[in-house]
A and B are shown apart, each in its own frame.
Chain A
């Protein structure tokens, strides 16, 4: 089983709202990732969590706040977003952090629209 689940599937929010995206995996993976994908563009890495600790932040604005409460869950808290933040937000996980043979498995994504 290589399933990563994400909720919600779709989210519409105003620029003053606070919302959260959720990602879950039960494969025992110890690395989890957030990617952002704008329309007609490839996914771009935002954050990496390794053993529940933030290990990489790709210079993401502070209005995006990741959280990894345990090894199965990854959240992305959103606050004061801009319309240009509208995108598909993808979560991924892998068995162990790092290493080119460590395959990342992606969830279906959350389609976010910021009004």
Chain B
């Protein structure tokens, strides 16, 4: 599975958009980009995933660059409850595995 690189920490103001970047320059054609988040001491929560098109659901939007070497998770109106560690994971189509990297610790400020 391709490796991902994320900034270790970010912060944003409550009510503003949070844009979390992820670099996956070695991604191959059959690998999907997944995002999970983990609020302190809870289980990881699925957010969104995509292959090459941009995706949106009720939680977030996922923007994948045309060359698929990077992506951005967008939380359009961050709240204090969005404070968590956000994991970007690249997952090969045939794999059971979710290989979590170090993630980005997002702090939403009041």
Contact = CB atoms under 8 A, between A and B. Distances in A.
Interface string B29-50: 0111010000001111110010
A100 B41 contact: no
Interface residues of B, number: 26
B46 A48 contact: no
Q: Is the interface of B mostly helix, strand, loop or mixed?
A: loop
B30 to A, nearest CB: 7
B12 interface: no
B42 A48 contact: no
Main SS class of interface, A: strand
A87 B35 CA distance: 23
Interface in A60-112: 88, 90, 92, 97-101, 103-109, 111
Interface of B: 30-32, 34, 41-46, 49, 51, 87, 91-103
